[in-house]
Amino acid sequence: MRELVLTPKFERAFRRLVHKTPGLQPRIEQILRRMSEDLADPRLKTHHLSGQLAGLHACSAAYDCRIVFSKQKNPKTGAEILLLVNIGSHEEVY
């Protein structure tokens, strides 16, 4: 299992999104668990980003909800961690 690290920007965007659409929270939590377990799961639709977001990845949490993240190594353990950068609609995160 990968460790998920939330940035302050992700936390703010998550709170705002859940406040606006409360029914989305369980779905997002399920997607985060799935990301931690298996990034290659086809249901996540994980893909590399380009342009200004080159080096980052994104996955789909719902029809119009994307999670932008970065894959990194924990300097102490060498284990892969996922740094969650942003969450929101396609237009908000890209």
82 class by beta-carbon count within 10 Å (0-12 exposed, 13-18 middle, 19+ buried): buried
Q: What is the pTM of this model?
A: 0.94
Which class is domain 3-93? alpha beta
Q: Domain residues of the chain, as ranges?
A: 3-93
Question: What is the band of 75 on the pLDDT scale with cuts at 50, 70, 90?
Answer: confident
Structure confidence at residue 6 as a pLDDT band (50, 70, 90): very high
Q: Is 55 left (phi over 0), alpha (psi -120 to 50) or beta?
A: left
pLDDT tens digits for 15-38? 999 999 999 999 999 999 999 999
- What confidence tens digit (pLDDT) does each residue in 42-65 have? 999 999 999 999 999 999 999 999
